[in-house]
Amino acid sequence: MVSLFHLARQNLICRIYRSLIIILGIAGGAGLLLFGALLLKGVENGLQSGLSRLGAELIVVPAGYEHPARTALLVGEPSMFYMHRDVEQQVAKVAGVEKVSSQVFVQSAQASCCSAGNVLLIGFDPASDFTVLPWARQRKSKLPGENELIAGAGLQTLPGQPLKFFNYEFKVAANLEATGFGFFDNAVFMPVETAYRMALLSRTRKNTVPVKLTPGQISALLIRVKPGVTPQAVARSISQAVPGVKVLVSEGIVSTVRQRLAVPVKNLALSGAVMWLVVFLMTAALLTMMAAERKREFGLLRAMGASRRFLIQLIILEAGILTALGGLFGVIGSGILIYAFKNLLIYTLELPFHWPAWSRLTGLVASILLLSVLAGVLSAAYPAYRYSQLDPYDAIRAGE
Amino acid sequence: MPREKISKIIALASALTGILVMLVPRYIFPVCQFYGRFIETKAGKLIPMRCFYTAQAELAVGAVIFFSALALIFARQAETRKTVSMILVLLGLVVIFLPALLIGVCKDPSMPCHAGTLPALTILGGALVILSLLGVYLARERR
């Protein structure tokens, strides 16, 4: 006896081109949907995990360097800008400021004196730091000593591994786990005094690119505000009290990223919606056409004893198989694309990215697959009902 | 009949992959040289980075894939299709290994060749391997 599934499979293979068109259409729609959703969730995830680890509501940088500072923070794009350390004391005196910690940024060179070029080297102040050290203490990781550093996940190093920057030999004390936030993933952290010493020695050593950083210079100040005070109000006070600096508000960075993401996500959602509509109509038309061509086959099946219900099941099963396959290829393809081109997205859009949790990802994929199958079943409903109602004799005659 | 139809579709897709392998490192996801990035020697001379040589090699491999896939479209005997498909599997692996191991691309993940060319070629090579394995399976002898 021929099973319903076998019959459906044979029908689909015999009409391979039409089957492929439907599969590709559904795959495109499902892929676009997953791509948009993953992009949105991944960027939100990267922002949340990164900013919560940063633990600072405000970041003070030299005026005119807001963009490089923001890019360094979001994607870890290295840049070097400095201001005098006196700013730290001036900012600490501003009302509403709870904690201040200074950092220096150095860009590693694409030369033999560095193990890796274009890496953001961050010197932090161990006495006031509230970003890296609490993390290391919480994880019971080794705190970086004099010639040691903490490496971001993007560098793919192992604890104890030697690294060389400007011919200064370091050892990796610990590795940060991936956050999707470039400031942590594509950077290495070392005590600020080590950074000053490294810069000083770079200017005296042979075959070494000199680092133009002198003790007393800092790149940025991370600020935590007192409870009950709004970061915006403290930012205004700092701008008024300290000349020559620019204050970045963490919340502002989040909203800037959301704004930047709004247009591509809106376009993706719109294309996805249009594609779904087109695919739905195309699938319905193709299935109706395929069913119309098979009147004789349906008539013969009915004459041999197949019930109306059997015909309905057959048409719906065929549509279900096609759309499920399309949905599956779409989510697999989209997943592969976003995984493979993650770095390209991060550096072109200048956005942080971190994969959503497995539970959320599974839920997302399952709902897209369900939507695909549902679209197939709905588009097959009309031809299934219509051609199951035909009288066997009329159907055989009509198909001749 | 469907088996031949599917084989033809696979051959066409393989030919398209060959064209893409040629185009990707130069026009679609160009390697660093096409962005004006070079290595500067101490003497001040600009020399291409290793990703450029990967692009050159992929141009040749892409051409071989394209012509092998054309041969596959017109091949009538199952044995010929099987052999050409096996060669395409190997060529697909070469497409993947050239940027990943054999010649390589720049190490920095933010460089265009690392962020764009490498994943694009890996996906194309992977697709060619899967398609060609399917081609080998379809060209098996009928019992």
**A171, A344 contact by CB (below 8 A):** no
The predicted pLDDT at position A70 comes to 82
The predicted pLDDT at position A66 comes to 87
Cβ atoms within 10 Å, residue A335: 16
| Closest Cα in chain B to A154 | B109
Distance from CA of A346 to the nearest CA of B (A): 9
User: Is A16 within 8 Å of B116 when comparing Cβ atoms?
Assistant: no
Q: What are phi and psi of A389, to 5 degrees?
A: -85, -10
Distance set, CA B72 to CA B20, B104, B118 (Å): 18, 30, 27
Query: What mean pLDDT do residues B108-117 have?
Result: 87
pLDDT digits (tens, 9 = 90+) for A19-68: 888 898 889 888 888 888 888 888 888 877 777 777 788 899 999 998 88
Ranges of beta strands (E only) in A51-175 are 58-62, 83-84, 97-107, 120-124, 148-151, 162-165, 168-175
Q: What is the pTM of this model?
A: 0.72
Could you say which of A20, A337, A343 has the minimum Cβ distance to residue B115? A343
The predicted pLDDT at position A2 comes to 65
User: Is A344 within 8 Å of B109 when comparing Cβ atoms?
Assistant: no
The predicted pLDDT at position B91 comes to 96
Interface test with A, best of B108, B121, B130 (most A CBs within 10 A): B108
The phi-psi region of residue A244 (left if phi > 0; otherwise alpha if psi is between -120 and 50; otherwise beta) is left
pLDDT greater than 80 at residue B74:
yes
| Closest Cα in chain B to A78 | B110
The predicted pLDDT at position A9 comes to 84
pLDDT in single tens digits along all 400 residues of chain A: 568 888 888 888 877 888 888 898 889 888 888 888 888 888 888 877 777 777 788 899 999 998 888 888 777 788 889 999 899 999 999 999 999 999 999 988 877 888 888 888 999 998 888 888 877 777 777 778 788 888 888 888 888 889 999 989 999 988 887 777 778 888 899 999 999 999 999 888 888 888 888 888 999 999 988 888 888 899 999 999 998 899 988 877 777 777 777 777 778 778 877 877 888 888 888 888 878 888 788 888 888 888 888 888 888 898 899 999 999 999 999 999 988 988 888 777 777 788 888 888 899 999 999 988 898 888 888 888 887 777 777 777 765 5
Distance from CA of A154 to the nearest CA of B (A): 9
Contacts of A50 (CB under 8 A, 6+ apart): A73, A74, A179, A180, A181, A183, A184, A352, A354
Which residues of A are less than 8 Å from B123 in CB distance?
A: 336-337, 340
Residue whose structure tokens are 């409903």: A381
The predicted pLDDT at position B68 comes to 95
Distance from CA of A309 to the nearest CA of B (A): 29
Q: What is the sign, positive or negative, of the torsion defined by CA atoms of A254, A256, A259, A265?
A: negative
Which residues of A are less than 8 Å from B6 in CB distance?
A: 16
**B61, B95 contact by CB (below 8 A):** yes
| Closest Cα in chain B to A182 | B110
Distance from CA of A72 to the nearest CA of B (A): 13
| Closest Cα in chain B to A16 | B2
The predicted pLDDT at position A400 comes to 58
Distance from CA of B118 to the nearest CA of A (A): 9
pLDDT digits (tens, 9 = 90+) for A334-346: 999 988 988 888 7
A and B: number of Cβ contacts within 8 A: 42
pLDDT digits (tens, 9 = 90+) for B37-55: 777 666 677 788 889 999 9
Contacts of B74 (CB under 8 A, 6+ apart): none
Which residues of B are less than 8 Å from A343 in CB distance?
A: 109-110, 114-115, 119
Identify the helix (H) or strand (E) that includes residue A352.
none
Distance from CA of B5 to the nearest CA of A (A): 8
Task: Assess B5–A contact: CB distance below 8 Å, yes or no.
Answer: yes
C-alpha to C-alpha distance for A377 and A388, rounded to whole angstroms: 15
Task: Assess B36–A contact: CB distance below 8 Å, yes or no.
Answer: no
User: Is B110 within 8 Å of A341 when comparing Cβ atoms?
Assistant: no
User: Is A341 within 8 Å of B116 when comparing Cβ atoms?
Assistant: yes
Q: What are phi and psi of A91, to 5 degrees?
A: -70, -40
User: Is B115 within 8 Å of A14 when comparing Cβ atoms?
Assistant: no
Identify the helix (H) or strand (E) that includes residue A64.
none
Query: What mean pLDDT do residues B13-41 have?
Result: 89
Could you say which of B5, B9, B109 has the minimum Cβ distance to residue A343? B109
Banded model confidence at residue B142, pLDDT cuts 50, 70, 90: low
| Closest Cα in chain A to B5 | A16
| Closest Cα in chain A to B1 | A14
Average pLDDT of chain B to the nearest whole number: 89
Which residues of B are less than 8 Å from A14 in CB distance?
A: 2
Which residues of B are less than 8 Å from A340 in CB distance?
A: 119-120, 122-123
Task: Assess B2–A contact: CB distance below 8 Å, yes or no.
Answer: yes
Distance from CA of B114 to the nearest CA of A (A): 8
The predicted pLDDT at position B1 comes to 53
Distance from CA of B122 to the nearest CA of A (A): 9
User: Is B115 within 8 Å of A347 when comparing Cβ atoms?
Assistant: yes
Angle of CA points A102, A106, A109, to nearest 5°: 170
User: Is A337 within 8 Å of B123 when comparing Cβ atoms?
Assistant: yes
pLDDT greater than 90 at residue B141:
no
Show the DSSP H helices in A203-307 as ranges: 231-241, 250-293, 295-303
Distance from CA of B109 to the nearest CA of A (A): 7
Could you say which of A16, A118, A336 has the minimum Cβ distance to residue B110? A118
**A147, A166 contact by CB (below 8 A):** no
